[in-house]
Structure 1
Amino acid sequence: MNTITFLSKKEQQRRFLLGYQLAFQSDAEEKDWDNIFALWQAAASSGHKRAQFYLGTCYDHGLGCTKDIAKAITWYRKAARQGHIVSQYNIGYSYINGDGVEQDYGKGVKWYLLAAQKGDTEAQREVGYCYFYGRGLEQDQVMAVYWYKKAARKNDPKAQYNLGLCYKEGEGVPISKRWARYYFQKAKEGGHKDAVRQLRRLL
């Protein structure tokens, strides 16, 4: 029978940082994922928030362990409940897309909102998308534009492209070719390929 050892805060941080260094700051061609996984697992099991997130990514991608989306979500959820923003986004994504859990737009947008309210750009864009199509909450194109703009201000090309469409079609905002062109141009500069086609159509 295995005994779980709860680590001190200092030891949790030490093991997390060592794993982080081996994963992201080492010059080694082959990462020692077995060791990295063990370090993060020890810290995560004792409650270290960031270790819980990174352990989730290990299960998500099969690094140092067998890929297991359900276990990834379990660890993302633990970190998300402690306020880890990217974990909150990942849980939202899982529910919206039915990835490793039963699809549930209501639960998905709830987690997206938690991350979006803390400033996560992708979550802000996705909340806008949920409002636009009424996924998990009442359809509201004005609110969709509100959230798209939050993400667009941080140069998210997908949000900028979506705003271009809103201004082009008058969805949530008055029709404005000038603003449509502005946001399509921003999206183009960010590498959004469809924005190029939309700019041609406006011309």
Structure 2
Amino acid sequence: MKFFNRLFRRDSNLGDFERAAAAAQAGDYEWALAIWERLAREHKMPRAQNAIGACFSEGWGVERDIALAARWFELAAQGGDAIGQRNLATLYFRGEGVTQDYAKAAELYRQAAVQGDAQAQDMLAWMLLEGTVIPPNPEEARRWSELAAAQGIPSSMTRLGMLYHDALGVTRDPAKAAHWWAQAAQLGEADGQAMLGAAYHLGSGVERDPETALMWLLRAQRAGSSLAHSFLAPMRGTMSEAQVNNAQRRSEEPL
């Protein structure tokens, strides 16, 4: 560990923040925090303020203190750091270290989403669709979901499938719904796998294929999706033993 730290201290091409991040990744939080605190206090660097907040939030190198994490995230958010805005939004959403405030959470998620933070885009889309404090807006939820999906967020892909399946802010399109569920399913998103399995079971947007349907539903069940359960028992009752065994085998293969 000491050699690792000396190595990064000698590399003048790495900025202070990056050197601290590398040290933290290697487990040397004490040294990382010393650098981040100097950058946060002396240079008012929002990204460093967020990093300190993350350490207090997770208990990395310090005793876990959510209230103190919230104060550091607040400084980072005020300085315009998108990750700090998203982290603070999550605390407001959960009511951890701050008084629970969904409206404040939505405002902060939006600030981070506008800056391109994919996780914030995904969460804002969810809030817009569920109508959590802010009025439901499927059209805007779709827009943020598309932006997050383009950055590889599987839950946004699943949400897009639901929007096209249920005709929420878009024209109903089973093929597009199945397309988005397939994208999410390949990335291991449990509900996307369940919905893709249901699509193959019903022949909705894809050609009906009971074996492939069962394969995806079994994957979804193992991944923790509650959506898979209602389809599994009825499907098994209509399939041959060979089909069920083949679907089981396929469900255990790597994606």
Give me the TM-score of the superposition, normalised by structure 2.
0.68
State the partner residue of 2:193. 196
Give yes or no for contact 2:125–2:145 (8 Å, CA) kept in 1: yes
1: CA distance, partners of 2:37 / 2:133: 33
Q: Does 1:112 align with 2:109?
A: yes
- Amino acid of the residue matched to residue 139 of structure 2? V
- Amino acid of the residue matched to residue 45 of structure 1? R
Give me the TM-score of the superposition, normalised by structure 1.
0.84
Q: Which of residues 163, 166, 169 in structure 2 aligns to 1:166?
A: 163
2: CA distance, partners of 1:80 / 1:19: 20
- Amino acid of the residue matched to residue 22 of structure 1? A
State the partner residue of 1:182. 179
State the partner residue of 1:136. 133
2: CA distance, partners of 1:70 / 1:89: 16
User: RMSD value over aligned CA atoms?
Assistant: 1.8
Q: Does 1:61 align with 2:58?
A: yes
The correspondence of residues 45-56 of structure 1 with structure 2, limited to 5 A, is 45-46=41-42, 47-56=44-53
Give yes or no for contact 1:37–1:65 (8 Å, CA) kept in 2: no
State the partner residue of 1:125. 122
State the partner residue of 1:37. 33
- Amino acid of the residue matched to residue 202 of structure 1? A
Please give the per-residue CA displacement for 1:44-92, whole angstroms capped at 9, x wherever unaligned.
Answer: 1221222211111111111222110111111111111111111111111
Shift in Å, 1:17: 4.5
2: CA distance, partners of 1:143 / 1:14: 38
Shift in Å, 1:121: 0.7
Residues 197 and 18 of structure 1: is their aligned pair in 2 closer, same or farther, counting only changes over 3 Å?
A: closer
May I ask how many residue pairs the two structures share in their alignment?
186
Residues 17 and 188 of structure 1: is their aligned pair in 2 closer, same or farther, counting only changes over 3 Å?
A: closer
Please give the per-residue CA displacement for 1:95-144, whole angstroms capped at 9, x wherever unaligned.
Answer: 11212211111100100000001111111111111111112322111221
Q: Which of residues 76, 85, 92 in structure 1 aligns to 2:89?
A: 92
State the partner residue of 2:8. none
Residue segments in structure 2 that go unaligned for 5+ positions in a row: 1-13, 201-255
Give yes or no for contact 2:68–2:97 (8 Å, CA) kept in 1: no
Where relative contact order (Cα < 8 A, 6+ residues apart) is larger, the structure is 1
- Amino acid of the residue matched to residue 38 of structure 2? A
Q: Which of residues 69, 73, 83 in structure 2 aligns to 1:72?
A: 69
- Amino acid of the residue matched to residue 19 of structure 1? A
2: CA distance, partners of 1:167 / 1:190: 20
State the partner residue of 1:19. 20
Give yes or no for contact 1:125–1:147 (8 Å, CA) kept in 2: yes
Runs of 4+ in 1 over 3 A off after TM superposition: 13-18
State the partner residue of 1:5. none
